[in-house]
Amino acid sequence: MSPRQKKRLVLVVLLLVGLSAATALALKAFNENMMFFFSPTEIKAGKAPSGQDIRLGGLVVEGSVRREVGNLTVLFDLTDNNDVITVSYNGILPDLFREGQGIIARGQLNETGGVTAVEVLAKHDENYMPPEVSDALAASEGEQS
Amino acid sequence: MIPEIGHAALILAFCFAVIQALIPLAGAQLGKTRWIHLASPVARGQLFFIGIAYCCLTYSFLVNDFSVRYVASTSNTQLPLIYKISGVWGAHEGSLLLWAFLLSAWTVVVSIFSSSIPKIMLARVISVMGMVSVGFISFMLFTSNPFIRLFPAPVDGRSLNPLLQDFGLAIHPPMLYMGYVGFSVAFAFAIAAMIDGKLDSAWARWVRPWTNIAWVFMTLGIALGSWWAYYELGWGGWWFWDPVENASLMPWLVGTALIHSLAVTEKRAAFKSWTVLLAIFSFSLSLLGTFLVRSGVLTSVHAFATDPARGVFILVFLVIVVGGSLVLFAWRATALRSVGQFSIVSRETGLLFNNVILVTMAGTVLLGTLYPLVLDALGVGKISVGPPYFNQVMLYLAVPLYTLMGLGLFLRWKKDSVSRLQSKVVIPFAMALMAGILLPLLLAPEQSGLTFIGLISASWVALAALLWLINSTQSPFKLPASTWGAVIAHIGMAVTVTGITLTSVYSHEKDVALAPDESYQVGDYDFKLISVKEIRRDNYIAYQGVVEASENGQHLVLMYPEKRTYNQSSMPMTEAAIDAGLFRDLFVALGEPLGEGSWSLRIYHKPFVRWIWLGALLMALGGLLAAMDKRYRRFKGNKEARS
């Protein structure tokens, strides 16, 4: 091997080692932080894992929003027009959160069979429905008919 | 009538674009001087007609012509003038028109500042830009025409989301587009060089200022978007790893790599094929970014099921651009032989690794952004990856990147020795270690590993840049503008990293319930809710809170957070009160009424958050200085003197 080829080889090997390390780290981080989406029906059916973050989407049931007195905890029900899951959240709800709206909650299953949310998302558009929610609604309609 | 004129002008612009894409290139291949000379006039013709189309659409917005479907769906009579003008690029169709208009304008500007470029090269460049133009204008004409009429015309248009009625957001898309479109210049030069089969340092000198300017616009556009999200969305965050944000970050990362790779191509005649590849990818990612954000694919990949024409067009367009240029690359890249050799310890190697890291960063962002979309489109499942993925990966990659940012400056071109490098970097490195460890220990209430990593990195990058400037043999004021540009841009990065680190680690964020005259303490600051009353303004009504902030018991400022409801909209909107400062922001937002006069409030104390955007401004300034370096102009002057 000429000295020039040797230099190239060293460079290429260094790059490959660096790149594979980066890829391994990225994939590991990807796997650890992947979150699956579930509809209320799927959660009721026990498809969601406990002890890890999941995303849950549905419509906020009319008249289901209730607050605890003296703190910021709020409870509400989410439905895909088939099953209902109770979500509890401690904090300020987004501007667009209201009854009848489609929203997405991120959090974990709790002992009561509901979800304790750490984040509630309602998109900033009057006519917008999170695509996961509209799909989940369509799916539950399909099952009923 | 006016919309029809606009439509006709768009069709004429399309015809000009087709001529621009074919004739000068054919002329360059066949050696027909007349055809080559057609390049500039035909580009101007295209700009003229697309300018008319753009003015017609703006006019329709100004006179509230709701018989135009696009106007009816994005504007209404109540909208203030400035948001009617910015409404033009408020949605898909108009954004495409703005894109095509800016592309055409860039082409003409390139043709004006081209006296140093051989006519045959220029003809090829302008033809390639014409091809991109053909793509965009036909996309509009065939699938997303902004001039389509609506019958019957509604009395009033749809309301523009009040969130979007904001100056920062109004100028954010054009800034970003200037960047996206600007990368098309580098792309066109790269394609032209491959057709030509020659890529020398003169070529790099033509491309560098254009790439720098595009990068400056992108930097500013991204910073504006982040700043807007911070003060307007009411969440107090400055980056959410939302696909919309990622779409602009990817071309920026690859563009940053391109800027550095171009330096090697100019100075050392190396990295030629790599530079060409980066130019192709930064532009392809710009296209991807435009389409991701504006085509509706993010809201729902299934939007394409109802309107397949758009999706198919975008896919075909991307395949032609990426596939076509890669085929050309495979065929011609061997002609671009890199003659400059370098040893393992050299500035070239430093820049090579910097490039690889930047591209890997872009790749990880791409994975996290597109993979969930692909899975969803295939119907496999709905997943998402949250900010933790991006934060984790970026941290791993950023540390070696910052290390290289400092080392690279001290490395010599071609061949250097480890011992010489050591003697140069030992002082800045020791200083950075001290600064990064002592400052948080002495000044901060608590420390975390992240504080040290972030501050050591930032001080290392900044100190290395400063010492490099001071150590250089010339007086700093005689150094070329590009040297100053590099130093300022590197320091800007350090300032941004400092801001990111300190904001992430030391921010206090709290949602609290407060009754009038109750207060809540965050760090040294005390927030007392005085009252919440209803106020009325021209186009909205609001609850306005009065919050007194005090520092260590001393009255500091009265803050007025609002919860607004705009007339056209039933949707409430949080208007946070921010007391901004160089070293900390205080941030108060109104939540909801909890009964008996008490409210939920969101209270933030964010140290050094302004540094994030201040650093971006410095980076942009650095890029601008580098683009204005005398040697790009001197070259031009010489050529003119000769001819």
What is residue A145's predicted lDDT score, i.e. its pLDDT?
Answer: 47
Phi, psi of A121 (to 5 degrees): -115, 130
Amino acid (1-letter code) at residue B438: L
Instruction: Answer whether residue A124 shows pLDDT above 60.
Output: no
Which of B344, B392, B569 lies closest to A126 in CB terms? B569
What is residue B570's predicted lDDT score, i.e. its pLDDT?
Answer: 66
Mean pLDDT of A62-89: 88
Instruction: Answer whether residue B299 shows pLDDT above 60.
Output: no
pLDDT range class, residue A130, cuts 50, 70, 90: low
What is residue B32's predicted lDDT score, i.e. its pLDDT?
Answer: 93
pLDDT range class, residue B638, cuts 50, 70, 90: very low
B382/B367 Cα distance (integer angstroms): 15
Q: What is chain B's mean pLDDT, rounded?
A: 89
Give the residue on A whose Cα is nearest the Cα of B359.
A19
- Using an 8 Å Cβ cutoff, are B115 and B199 in contact? no
B486/B464 Cα distance (integer angstroms): 12
Best of A73, A95, A96, A129 to disrupt the B interface (most B CBs within 10 Å) is: A95
Q: What pLDDT digit, counting tens, does each position of B479-514 carry?
A: 889 999 999 999 999 999 999 999 999 998 888 989
Buried/exposed B512-550: b ≥16 CB within 10 Å, e otherwise: bbbeeeeebebeebbbbbeebeeeeeeebebbbbbbebb
Higher pLDDT, B639 or B498: B498
Q: Which of B410, B396, B458, B411 minimizes the C-alpha distance to B432?
A: B458
B169/B631 Cα distance (integer angstroms): 36
Cα–chain center distance at B23: 33
Phi, psi of B510 (to 5 degrees): -145, 135
Q: What is the CA radius of gyration of chain B?
A: 27
Give the residue on A whose Cα is nearest the Cα of B383.
A36
- Token pair 């029900």 is found at A77
Give the SS3 label for residue B288: helix
What is residue B115's predicted lDDT score, i.e. its pLDDT?
Answer: 84
Mean pLDDT of B380-399: 88
The CA-based angle B326-B332-B334, given to 5 degrees, is 115
CB-defined contacts A:B, below 8 A: 105
B641/B643 Cα distance (integer angstroms): 6
What is residue B244's predicted lDDT score, i.e. its pLDDT?
Answer: 84
What is residue B293's predicted lDDT score, i.e. its pLDDT?
Answer: 79
Instruction: Answer whether residue A56 shows pLDDT above 50.
Output: yes
Instruction: Answer whether residue B83 shows pLDDT above 60.
Output: yes
Task: Decide if B386 and A106 are in contact by the 8 Å CB cutoff.
Answer: yes
Which of A67, A72, A124 lies closest to B163 in CB terms? A124
Mean pLDDT of B141-165: 82
Instruction: Answer whether residue B636 shows pLDDT above 50.
Output: no
Tokens of B358: 């930047």
Query: In terms of pTM, does the model score above 0.95?
Result: no
Q: By percentage, how much of chain B surpasses pLDDT 70?
A: 94
Q: Which of B52-56, B333-337, B500-504, B584-588 has the lowest mean pLDDT?
A: B333-337
Q: What pLDDT digit, counting tens, does each position of B458-468 carry?
A: 999 999 999 99
What is residue B162's predicted lDDT score, i.e. its pLDDT?
Answer: 67
Q: Which of B384, B378, B172 minimizes the C-alpha distance to B293?
A: B172
- Token pair 């002592």 is found at B438
Which of B302, B367, B368 lies closest to A131 in CB terms? B302
Q: Which of B287, B231, B312 minimizes the C-alpha distance to B606?
A: B231
Q: Å from A131 to nearest chain B CA? A: 6
Task: Decide if B511 and A95 are in contact by the 8 Å CB cutoff.
Answer: no
Q: What pLDDT digit, counting tens, does each position of B25-43 carry?
A: 999 999 999 999 999 999 9
Instruction: Answer whether residue B102 shows pLDDT above 70.
Output: yes
B68/B61 Cα distance (integer angstroms): 9
Mean pLDDT of B227-248: 84
What is residue B641's predicted lDDT score, i.e. its pLDDT?
Answer: 38
- Cβ-Cβ contacts under 8 Å, A132 against chain B: 382
- Using an 8 Å Cβ cutoff, are B560 and B577 in contact? yes
- Cβ-Cβ contacts under 8 Å, B392 against chain A: 25, 29, 33
- Using an 8 Å Cβ cutoff, are B364 and A26 in contact? yes
What is residue B643's predicted lDDT score, i.e. its pLDDT?
Answer: 34
Q: What is the dihedral of CA B298, B304, B305, B307, to 10 degrees?
A: 140
Q: Which of B98, B103, B104, B102 minimizes the C-alpha distance to B86?
A: B98
Higher pLDDT, B15 or B538: B15
Long-range contacts of B467-471 (CB under 8 A, 24+ apart): B467/B427, B467/B428, B468/B409, B468/B410, B471/B424
Enter the ipTM. Answer: 0.83
Instruction: Answer whether residue B237 shows pLDDT above 90.
Output: no
Q: What pLDDT digit, counting tens, does each position of B199-210 carry?
A: 989 999 999 999
Answer left, alpha or beta for residue A14, where phi above 0 means left and psi between -120 and 50 means alpha: alpha
What is residue B639's predicted lDDT score, i.e. its pLDDT?
Answer: 42
- Using an 8 Å Cβ cutoff, are A104 and A132 in contact? yes
Instruction: Answer whether residue A120 shows pLDDT above 70.
Output: yes
Instruction: Answer whether residue B456 shows pLDDT above 80.
Output: yes
Higher pLDDT, A95 or B154: B154
What is residue B372's predicted lDDT score, i.e. its pLDDT?
Answer: 85
Instruction: Answer whether residue B154 shows pLDDT above 50.
Output: yes
Q: What pLDDT digit, counting tens, does each position of A22-54 carry?
A: 889 888 999 888 888 888 998 988 888 888 889
Q: Å from B38 to nearest chain A CA? A: 45
Give the SS3 label for residue B147: coil
Instruction: Answer whether residue B125 shows pLDDT above 50.
Output: yes
Instruction: Answer whether residue B391 shows pLDDT above 60.
Output: yes
pLDDT range class, residue B107, cuts 50, 70, 90: very high
Instruction: Answer whether residue B88 shows pLDDT above 60.
Output: yes
Task: Decide if B571 and A126 are in contact by the 8 Å CB cutoff.
Answer: yes
Instruction: Answer whether residue B367 shows pLDDT above 70.
Output: yes
